[in-house]
Amino acid sequence: MTAILTVEDLAKHFSIDGKVMDRVLGKKPDVVRAVDGVSFSIEKGETLGLVGESGCGKSTVGRSILRLLDPTRGKVELDGRDISRASRRALRPLRRHLQVVFQDPFASLNPRRTVGQSVAEPITNYGLAKGAALRAQVQDLFERVGLRADQIDRYPHEFSGGQRQRIGIARALGTGPKLLVLDEPVSALDVSVQAQVINLLVDLQQQFGLAYLFIAHDLAVVEHISARVAVMYLGKIVEIADKKRLFDSPRHPYTKALLSAVPSADPDSASKRIVLQGDIPSPTNPPSGCRFRSRCPIAQPICATEEPRLESQAPGHKTACHFAQLGPLAAPSRSGVGPDQIGR
């Protein structure tokens, strides 16, 4: 197996323009460290799920890989070629292999063009087909994503949310990509439609041998679709492992809390919930040492002084926590913030 995408120490910092007076006084602008040193790789045909709460930087990772944002630091290799510093011109032929599907199917299609035109655009852009061949290809793409070939001359407003998301997927497939960045592709959809789109993504992956970077906040969806999963918190990956290990025996206290916080629709489950206190700190001023320590139920003095590195505890399982080696059975528990019995 070879990696289609390798990301090394990727960082993206945004500077916030301070108030006028601050600038006059020569104060340095605040810097938001949205992504601060993230490394992972995706194999050909594999799905890596990237999960985290709002503001953790997961979408910024996706956008930096796509070069919709220029990374501040780090390396992004697509099929062995570094694209993080490539010029626009050098990037163009590479981008064919790297496509994206966005969250909001209502905002990501041009309302004044037919959906067929939208799907055809990337194909003409790369000069891959024209005329009757192009039309045939667009019709074929429509059928592959579960739409009818005769719908290509309609406008976006004539389609439902789920159908529009299918159109967005068809558009991404046109140039024969190797990797799709899927940024919350199903979170705007109703449950019944969400299942259709997830099944479609699974089918297309098998048909075309696509690799997916699946960015989402819904853990159940990510578990369903991914082979491996990375959990982000405040701009860093805190844990990455294959799906089964991550969901069955998470080692990072944040992953444990995140999993326990998902309401279970199983009436027989009597899960113990770890309720985290407080909110996610601001990425302009993250806590010293381990970024999770301000909400961590097992934080110790060392967590404030030393930042834990993302280290391997088992093959394919890396965790950034000083106490990760204690293993899955050492459940975090301290009075006041320990696990609460819910199971009503």
Partner 1 sequence: MSDEPLLFVDGLGVTFRTDHGIVPALHDFSYTLDAGETLAIVGESGSGKSVGALALMRLIDDPPGRISDGTIRFHGRELLTLSESEMQKIRGNEIAMIFQEPMTSLNPVFTIAEQIVEAAQLHQDLNRQEAQAHALEMLQLVQITEPERRLNQYPHELSGGMCQRVMIAMAMACAPSILIADEPTTALDVTIQAQILDLMRDLKGRLGTAILLITHDLGVVVEMADRVLVIYAGRKVEEAPVRELLRSPRHPYTLGLLGAMPRLGDAGKGQRQRLKEIPGSVPSLLEPVSGCPFAPRCSMAMERCHAEPPPLEPQGDAQHIAACWRSDEVGVDR
Site of interaction with partner 1 (CB under 8 A)? 53-54, 160-163, 190-196, 198-199, 202, 217, 219-221, 223-224, 243-244, 247-248, 257-267, 273, 275-276, 278-280, 340, 342, 344
Smallest distance from partner 1 to CB 174, Å: 24
Q: Distance between CA atoms of 84 and 71, rounded to whole angstroms?
A: 7
Reading phi first (left if > 0) and then psi (alpha if -120 to 50, else beta), residue 45 is in: left
H or E segment and range at residue 182 = strand 179-183
Q: Residue 8 or 104: which CB sits closer to partner 1?
A: 104
| Nearest in space to 10 (alpha carbons), one of 77, 75, 83 | 75
Smallest distance from partner 1 to CB 126, Å: 33
| Nearest in space to 225 (alpha carbons), one of 187, 254, 263, 261 | 187
Q: Residue 84 or 194: which CB sits closer to partner 1?
A: 194
Smallest distance from partner 1 to CB 39, Å: 24
Q: Distance between CA atoms of 95 and 93, rounded to whole angstroms?
A: 6
Smallest distance from partner 1 to CB 137, Å: 26
| Nearest in space to 213 (alpha carbons), one of 185, 252, 175, 191 | 185
Smallest distance from partner 1 to CB 130, Å: 33
Q: How many residues does the chain have?
A: 344
The helix/strand/coil state of 3 is strand
Q: Residue 103 or 194: which CB sits closer to partner 1?
A: 194
Q: Judging by beta carbons within 10 Å of its beta carbon (0-12, 13-18, 19+), is residue 81 exposed, middle or buried?
A: exposed
Smallest distance from partner 1 to CB 225, Å: 8
Q: Distance between CA atoms of 341 and 180, rounded to whole angstroms?
A: 40
Q: Residue 109 or 276: which CB sits closer to partner 1?
A: 276
Q: What strands lie across the sheet with 3-16, from one edge to the other?
A: 30-43, 3-16, 73-78, 81-82
Q: Residue 11 or 225: which CB sits closer to partner 1?
A: 225
Q: Residue 22 or 279: which CB sits closer to partner 1?
A: 279
Smallest distance from partner 1 to CB 76, Å: 27
Q: Residue 68 or 270: which CB sits closer to partner 1?
A: 270
Q: Distance between CA atoms of 214 and 185, rounded to whole angstroms?
A: 8
